[in-house]
Structure 1
Amino acid sequence: MATIKDVAALAGISYTTVSHVINNTRPVNAETRRKVEAAIAQLDYVPSAVARSLKGQATATIGLLVPNSLNPYFAELARGIEDECERNGYCVILCNSDDDPAKQRKYLRVLLEKRIDGLIVASATEEGGFDDGIAPLRIPLVLVDRELDGVVADRVWVDHEQGGYLATRHLLDLGHRRIACISGPLRTRVAALRVQGYRRAMAEAAIVVPDAWLEESDFTSPGGYQAASRLLESVRPSAIFASNDLLGIGALRAAAERGLRVPQALSVIGFDDIQMSRYVYPALSTVGQSILQLGELAAQLLLQRIESPAPAAPEPRILAPQLLLRESTQAPGPHLAGAPTPSPQG
């Protein structure tokens, strides 16, 4: 790879003059500039953004930490962030942590070594002391859909508890009473809040939720398939609230394998409104907010903080979830509507 000294040697001038041409830090006559530009083109020289940042204190680069880039939610979120940054002349370095705190800490060090101008964290994990690595940072920071203990930062998130409530309330309004819930890992605030909304709606309807009605899984389609399979073999609900769309898609597969037509024999509703939820069959009813817009909003907050770094109170943005009704929910049939509600031990 060519260096600035290679460019200087080919152009027959000092490397400090080459630096002035590249960085526009001093007037250079037209003939000298032409020689430098010709040498750069011939050598395919790419200036080091990190080296330039040592002088300019900016790289026009932000970091993005996500727990699982294969999850369509985080892929769509990253796209919204990238689109907004690109419109404003910034690049995004995406790091996938696989929900591994050690990997998160390693990537955080790498991003800081790259001298990023700001950081967006969209990790779901609550473990491993990751908060301790974030708290001392002196760069602008935005948290998406989570909180970090002791970390003061701008935050963007969907009202998870209200979303869980809306999804369950929809099923109750249709006439369902045997409503099971497939949650994500309950050690995470996101999963716990969505279940809390489910329980609030069920309590309002005076329905006791037996332990067997709640299956905990990870936020994946295989996890939803396995959890729904257990529910359909045991408690046989008339409806399932899956606390993300991937879980709901897994539940659709479990129902199909058992010959249960959705929504005639089983209603399923998800959470997040990933694009895939609109194209599975039947199209999945869900609650959520535009994920692309969520990403754009997170990027806007970060870029505003980068451009105006003066101390200011952190800005929280809570987005209200919306109920998006499609083909996977309907009123229960007579044979389901009259099914008895089991005791808390059932």
Structure 2
Amino acid sequence: MSAIKPATIEDVALIAGVSIATVSRALNEPGKVADSTRRKVIEAVAQTGYTTNAMARNLRMRKSNMILILAPDVGDPNFSNILIGLETEASKRGYGVLIGNTQNDPSRETDYLRFLSSNQADGIILLTGHLPFGLTQAGPDVRLPPMVAVNEPVPNAAVPFVGVDNIEGARTATDHLISQGHTRIAFIGQSTRSAVSSYREEGYRRAMTGAGLTIDPRFVLEADGTTESGRGAAERMFVRDQLPTAFFCVNDATALGVIIALTARGYALPQDFSVMGFDDISYASFVTPSLTTMKQPRLQIGEASMELLLAMLEGADVQKREILLRAELILRNSVALRRPG
């Protein structure tokens, strides 16, 4: 079987439809090239593997000591302490960080890839749950740049992952509701688009079946992780013939939506319904009632993620491709013993 021929700058120029000189300028002096042209070049670099083959040698010789962090929304309360952990560990090792706020925009993701192709960054931390746009067009034989997925794993890609053990955490959360006498427990947050949501639903199901409880399919409702989706799911529940006594929500934002919906209907919480969240975001202790939830060790997740990426950059033989940290049960006021009847 013949070896795969490394991609060349000529290959990039051919795919991008530009000259070799333009490719060179786009990679080394991006400010001197039109945005549309630069995007074509970066996409061609990703498709050919030029970034991760020919240019990887340059990265080893001309280290930038910078790490690119791609996040879909830096305002997400789940990310702040993870980012602090990432930056803290990078700084201890003599690295800086570049933060790309992608807003899940393919053109932004393509733009941020130029930091790797122009030797301004050595590796990527992904908080997006998917490969950057452009790299998704790369063939199966193209090696990915050094990267680690954080918080949300990248499906169908050989990208190491660091995050919380979502299945075990969700199981612990549901077990707590069961320990309070609840047998009719709703899961709010079913999703086919989020691996984290699927893992948390799996943990809920394992706890229910492990306790010998039947899962009513009408009690498993879709939600996209937002407060509005939680409110809407709770409202849909009231067209059912039977109501749950407790709600396990895929995250704290969803739980807040459920609390808003139940309170608007005049229910007292947790006397009438118990509500459980996941994540322990900043406002979880300030809502009424304060939210019982599962706390993610975000600082440690950030530190472990950066430590893993830097080990990869330094050529260490990284055996552990998945690092799962344990979530902690935080007891507050939104869960109570089930009333008889």
TM range (shorter): 0.7 to 0.9
Q: Report the AA paired with residue 164 of structure 2.
A: V
Q: Report if aligned partners of 1:178, 1:238 keep a CA contact under 8 Å in 2.
A: yes
- For structure 1, the residue ranges without an aligned partner over 5 or more in a row are 1-52, 339-346
2:303 aligned with 1:296: yes
1:86-114 Cα deviation digits (max 9, x unpaired): 343322222233345x3574245233245
Say whether residues 1:181 and 2:187 are aligned partners: yes
Distance 1:103 1:168, change over 3 A: farther
In the superposition, the TM-score normalised over structure 2's length comes to: 0.73
- Of the structure 1 ranges 198-207 and 83-92, higher mean CA displacement relative to structure 2 is found in 83-92
1:158 maps to which residue?
A: 164
Closer/same/farther in 2, CA of residues 103 and 270 from structure 1, 3 Å limit: farther
User: 2:110 is matched with which residue?
Assistant: 106
Q: Cα gap change, 1:185/1:103 in structure 2, threshold over 3 Å: closer, same or farther?
A: farther
1:216 aligned to 2:222? yes
Counterpart CA distance in 2 for 1:260 and 1:128 is 46
Deviation at 1:188, TM superposition (A): 2.0
Could you list the per-position Cα deviations for residues 279-322 of structure 1 after superposition, in whole angstroms to 9, with x for gaps in the alignment? 2222211113211221122112222333x224543542111222
Matched residues, number = 281
Alignment correspondent of 2:73: 68
Name the aligned partner's letter for residue 202 of structure 1.
M
Q: CA contact under 8 A between 2:187 and 2:249: conserved in structure 1?
A: yes
Taking a change above 3 Å as real, the CA distance of residues 63 and 167 of structure 1, as seen in their structure-2 partners, is: same
The answer as to whether partners of 1:140 and 1:309 remain within 8 angstroms in 2 is no
Cα distance change of structure 1 residues 197 and 128 upon mapping to structure 2, 3 Å threshold = farther
Aligned residue for 2:280?
273
Give the superposition deviation at 1:192. Answer: 0.8
- CA-based RMSD of the aligned residues comes to 2.8
Equivalent position SS for 2:78: helix
**Greater gyration radius:** 1
Indicate the residue corresponding to 1:92 in structure 2: 97
Change (3 A) 1:327 1:152: same
Return 276-285 or 161-170, whichever deviates more.
276-285
Partner of 1:207: 213
**Residue 81 of structure 1 pairs with residue 86 of structure 2:** yes
1:122 to 127, 144, 149: 127
Structure 1 partner of 2:47: none
Write out per-residue CA displacement over residues 95-137 of structure 1, whole angstroms, 9 at most, x where no aligned residue.
Answer: 233345x357424523324521111112235998865559745
Alignment of 1:263 onto 2:270: yes
Contact 1:131 1:151 in 2 (8 A): no
The whole-number CA distance in structure 2 between the counterparts of 1:64 and 1:134 is 23
Q: Is the 8 A contact 1:126 1:188 kept in 2?
A: no
Cα distance change on mapping 1:173 and 1:312 into 2, 3 Å = closer
SS at match of 2:113: helix
Output the CA distance in 1 between the equivalents of 2:272 and 2:329: 21
Residue aligned with 2:205, SS: helix
Amino acid at match of 1:332: R
- The structure-2 alpha-carbon separation of the partners of 1:103 and 1:172, relative to structure 1 and needing over 3 Å to count, comes to farther
SS in 1 for 2:243: coil
Matches of 2:233 and 2:80 in 1, distance apart?
Answer: 24
Answer yes or no: is 1:231 the counterpart of 2:207.
Answer: no
Q: Deviations over 1:154-211 (max 9, x none)?
A: 3212111111111111111100112111115323221111111111111223332222
Is 2:245 aligned against 1:241? no
Q: Letter of the aligned partner of 2:114 in structure 1? A: V
CA contact (8 A) 2:223 2:230 kept: yes
Residue 151 of structure 2 is aligned to residue 145 of structure 1: yes
TM, length-normalised to structure 1: 0.72
CA shift, 1:141, in A, is: 1.5
Q: Residue type of the partner of 1:259?
A: G
Gaps of 5+ in 2: 1-57
Deviation at 1:328? 0.8
| 2:244 alignment partner, SS class | coil
**Would you say the 8 A contact 1:126–1:187 is kept in 2?**
no
Cα distance between partner residues in 2 of 1:71 and 1:254: 22
